[in-house]
C-alpha cells in the first residue's frame, strides 16, 4: 500500500514538472480564442466553413478556439471593436473599418486570390445584356442590387466603378431602383429571379454557387468583370500576444498560411492563405474616401 506521504511527494513532483494535475488547470485558465467572419453567404455554408477552421486552429495553437456567427457586416466589426472576438475573416473594407477602430490590429493572412480580387456584374437574361470587356453603360436605367452595404466586392468597389462610368452621378441617379441584398448568394438569387435586373457579386461566391448548382445559366449571367483589387483577409487584435503569450500573432499567422487541407480551403473558394500586412489595403482607404463611404 502506498503511503500518504509518498502520494503527496508524487503530486508535488508532477506539479513542478508542469504535467499531470497542472495540465488541466492551465488549460481551464486559458480563455478561448474567439473569432467570427462576415456573413457573405448562406448560414449553413458559413457554419461548415468556420467550424473546420476552429478545429484546425485549436489543434495548431494549443488553445481553445470558438467561432461565433454574426448577423451582419457591421456586427462583425462591432464584435471585433468591443473585444468580443479577437480574430475575424473580414472583407477588404470591413477590415479597414475594424483596424481603424482598434489601433494595433493587424491583417495577417489573405487568400492567394484576395491579392487581386474581382467582382462581377451579373444580369438577368431578360435584359438582353451580354458579356463585354468594357464597363456596360447599358445598365443605366435598370434595377440594380448591391450586396451588403459594407461589402467590398458587393458595394464599395462596384459603387466606385459605377461613379467612374457615370461621372457626377450616384447609383440612385443611374438606376431606376437600387437595393441591398445582404449577401452575395442572395444577390445571385435576386437577379436570377428577375427581382432585380442587374447586380454586383463576389466572383468567388459566383463560382462556388455555380459549382453547387445554384446558378441557372439560362436565367442569369456575368456581363462584366472588374479590374483587380485587394479584398478578404484575417485580421487579429493587437492585444492577443498579451493574452496568449509573446509570439502568438506570428504563430497564428503561420497556422493560417499553413492550411493545406482542401476541406478547409474549398468552402472559402481559396487555393491557400498567404501572409499580408495592413499596407496592402491602403487602396481601399482611398476608394472609401472617394465614394464617401469612409471618413
Query: The C-alpha cell of 4 is what?
Result: 500518504
Average pLDDT over residues 1-6: 43
For 75-131, the pLDDT digits (tens) are 999 999 999 999 999 999 999 999 999 999 999 999 999 999 999 999 999 999 999
The pLDDT value recorded for residue 158 is 97
Point out the least confidently predicted range of 16-20, 62-66, 174-178: 16-20
Sheet strand arrangement including 106-111: 65-67, 33-37, 87-90, 233-236, 106-111, 273-275
User: pTM, whole model, 2 decimals?
Assistant: 0.84
Share of the chain above pLDDT 70, in %: 91
Neighbours of 104 (CB within 10 A): 9
Whether 199 contacts 146, CB under 8 Å: yes
- Rounded Cα distance between 38 and 194, Å, is 26
The pLDDT value recorded for residue 295 is 82
Distances from the Cα of 61 to the Cαs of 54, 103, 245, 250, in angstroms?
A: 10, 24, 11, 11
CA angle 265/269/274 to nearest 5° reads: 60
- Rounded Cα distance between 108 and 276, Å, is 5
* 92-101 and 73-81 helices, crossing angle to 10°: 30
The pLDDT value recorded for residue 28 is 55
- Rounded Cα distance between 5 and 140, Å, is 87
Taking 90 as the threshold, does the pLDDT of residue 40 lie above it? no
- Rounded Cα distance between 85 and 237, Å, is 9
- Rounded Cα distance between 118 and 203, Å, is 6
Query: The C-alpha cell of 118 is what?
Result: 474581382
Instruction: Identify each DSSP E strand in the chain by its residue range.
Output: 33-37, 65-67, 87-90, 106-111, 119-124, 143-146, 177-180, 198-202, 220-225, 233-236, 273-275
Taking 90 as the threshold, does the pLDDT of residue 274 lie above it? yes
DSSP per-residue string spanning 41-106: S-HHHHHHHHHHHHHHHHHHHSS-EEE---SSHHHHHHHHHTTS-SEEEE-HHHHHHHHHHSTT-E
| Pairing status of strand 198-202 against strand 119-124 | antiparallel
Domains identified in the chain and CATH numbers: 31-114+232-290 (3.40.190.10), 118-225 (3.40.190.10)
CB-based contacts of 137, cutoff 8 Å, min separation 6: 165, 166
The pLDDT value recorded for residue 89 is 97
Mean pLDDT of the residues in the chain: 90
Query: The C-alpha cell of 181 is what?
Result: 441584398
Query: The C-alpha cell of 170 is what?
Result: 450616384
Amino acid at each position: 500500500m502506498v503511503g500518504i506521504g509518498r502520494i503527496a511527494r508524487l503530486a508535488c513532483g508532477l506539479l513542478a514538472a508542469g504535467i499531470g494535475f497542472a495540465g488541466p488547470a492551465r488549460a481551464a485558465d486559458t480563455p478561448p480564442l474567439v473569432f467570427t467572419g462576415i456573413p457573405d453567404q448562406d448560414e449553413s455554408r458559413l457554419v461548415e466553413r468556420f467550424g473546420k477552421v476552429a478545429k484546425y486552429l485549436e489543434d495548431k495553437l494549443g488553445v481553445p478556439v470558438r467561432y461565433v456567427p454574426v448577423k451582419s457586416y457591421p456586427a462583425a466589426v462591432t464584435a471585433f471593436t468591443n473585444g468580443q472576438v479577437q480574430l475575424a475573416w473580414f472583407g477588404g473594407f470591413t477590415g479597414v473599418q475594424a483596424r481603424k477602430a482598434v489601433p494595433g490590429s493587424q491583417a495577417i493572412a489573405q487568400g492567394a486570390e484576395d491579392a487581386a480580387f474581382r467582382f462581377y456584374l451579373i444580369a438577368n437574361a431578360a435584359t438582353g445584356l451580354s458579356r463585354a470587356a468594357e464597363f456596360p453603360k447599358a445598365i443605366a436605367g435598370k434595377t440594380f442590387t448591391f450586396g451588403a452595404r459594407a461589402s467590398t466586392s458587393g458595394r464599395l468597389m462596384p459603387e466606385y466603378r459605377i461613379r467612374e462610368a457615370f461621372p457626377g452621378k450616384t447609383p440612385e441617379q443611374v438606376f431606376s431602383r437600387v437595393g441591398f441584398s445582404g449577401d452575395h448568394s442572395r444577390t445571385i438569387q435576386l437577379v436570377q429571379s428577375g427581382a432585380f435586373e442587374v447586380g454586383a457579386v463576389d466572383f468567388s461566391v459566383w463560382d462556388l454557387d455555380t459549382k453547387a448548382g445554384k446558378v441557372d445559366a439560362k436565367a442569369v449571367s456575368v456581363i462584366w468583370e472588374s479590374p483587380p483589387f485587394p479584398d478578404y483577409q484575417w485580421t487579429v487584435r493587437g492585444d492577443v500576444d498579451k493574452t496568449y503569450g509573446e509570439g502568438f500573432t506570428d504563430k497564428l499567422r503561420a497556422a493560417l498560411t499553413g492550411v493545406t487541407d482542401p476541406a478547409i480551403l474549398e468552402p472559402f473558394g481559396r487555393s491557400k492563405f498567404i501572409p499580408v500586412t495592413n499596407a496592402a489595403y491602403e487602396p481601399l482607404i482611398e476608394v472609401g474616401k472617394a465614394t464617401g463611404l469612409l471618413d
